[in-house]
């Protein structure tokens, strides 16, 4: 099985555990500030239309539409997570769609989004094509917000370089999670990937831990080079 298939299988199998983990607030970095940071980065753009790519069980759509007067669409490759998102939120739209569908133009989404967000949802080695496909759905002046693991998050013993890793979710709880392959990227590599997608970084944020000031995540706000 290739890594993309393993990744998709992991999200299908982990769907119920993931929904419970997010909704019970069991991810320490999210409680410490990454949720608030991505909400603030999006709200600062005052979007009227929001696209949440890899929306999972939909918390960010629900939260944004509570705080900002906007309509939102969440898309995700996992049918179970989309079902969870729909049943928690009758006011917004959620659709099953993979990034391959987006790249292949099979989603027939109406464009015109002021903000599209990938919140911890880019795990593949090649992500420039999905970023470019989503950029094509933006309104003029629209942005893509990417929140991801901070490149400093590697342990001291690991080599600082691009490469595949395995997330075993052991930090969350004692349940049986399906391990997920994910591609670690250095800061330089993120920058090159964003450029390859025809985008440029207009804001770069590093939400910090209130305890030790270490970065909790990396947030990049990107717009089309041609805008």
Report the 10 Å Cβ neighbour count for 172.
16
Structure tokens belonging to residue 160:
């600082």
Per rule CB under 6 A, is residue 7 in the interface with ligand SAM?
yes
Instruction: Round to whole Å and give the CA distance between 225 and 195.
Output: 8
CA distance linking residue 108 with residue 201, whole number of Å: 27
Rounded least distance, CB 16 to ligand SAM, Å: 12
Pairing state of beta strands 218-224 and 138-148?
antiparallel
Tell the smallest beta-carbon distance from residue 226 to ligand SAM (Å).
26
DSSP bridge pairs for 96: 76
Q: Which of 41, 45, 50, 56 binds ligand SAM (CB under 6 A)?
A: 56
Residues 6+ apart with CB under 8 A from 179: 10, 166, 167, 168, 169
Of positions 45, 61, 73, 77, contacts ligand SAM by CB under 6 A? 77
Residue closer to ligand SAM by CB (options 47, 56) is: 56
Residue pair 146/223 in contact (Cβ under 8 Å)? The answer is: no
Instruction: Pick between residue 42 and residue 194 the one whose CB is nearest to ligand SAM.
Output: 42
Among 45, 94, 114, 123, binds ligand SAM (CB under 6 A): 123
Q: Is there binding between residue 177 and ligand SAM (CB under 6 A)?
A: no
Member of 41, 49, 54, 222 binding ligand SAM (CB under 6 A): 54
**Do 114 and 45 meet the contact criterion of CB atoms below 8 Å apart?**
yes
When binding is defined by CB under 6 A, the residue of 19, 21, 78, 193 that contacts ligand SAM is 78
Give min distance, CB of 140 to ligand SAM, in A: 25
CB 55 within 8 A of CB 74: yes
Instruction: Answer yes or no whether residue 41 interacts with ligand SAM by CB under 6 A.
Output: no
- Interface ranges with ligand SAM (CB under 6 A): 7, 11, 22, 54-56, 59-60, 76-78, 81, 98-99, 119-121, 123
């Amino acid at each position: 099985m290739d890594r993309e298939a393993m990744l998709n299988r992991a999200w299908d199998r982990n769907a119920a555990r993931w929904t419970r983990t997010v909704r019970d607030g069991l991810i320490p970095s999210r409680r410490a500030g990454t949720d608030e940071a991505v909400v603030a980065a999006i709200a600062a753009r005052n979007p009227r239309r929001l696209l949440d790519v890899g929306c999972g069980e939909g918390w960010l759509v629900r939260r944004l539409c509570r705080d900002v007067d906007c309509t939102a669409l969440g898309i995700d490759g996992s049918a179970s997570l989309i079902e969870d998102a729909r049943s928690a939120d009758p006011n917004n739209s959620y659709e099953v769609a993979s990034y391959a569908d987006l790249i292949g133009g099979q989603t027939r989404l109406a464009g015109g989004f002021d903000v599209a967000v990938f919140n911890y949802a880019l795990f593949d080695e090649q992500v420039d094509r999905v970023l470019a496909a989503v950029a094509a759905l933006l309104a003029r002046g629209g942005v893509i917000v990417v929140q991801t693991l901070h490149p400093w998050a590697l342990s001291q013993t690991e080599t600082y370089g691009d490469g595949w890793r395995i997330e075993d979710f052991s930090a969350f709880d004692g349940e049986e999670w399906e391990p997920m392959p994910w591609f670690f990227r250095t800061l330089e590599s993120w920058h090159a990937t964003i450029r390859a997608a025809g985008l440029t970084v207009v804001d770069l944020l590093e939400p910090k831990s209130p305890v030790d000031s270490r970065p909790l995540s990396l947030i990049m706000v990107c717009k089309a080079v041609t805008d």
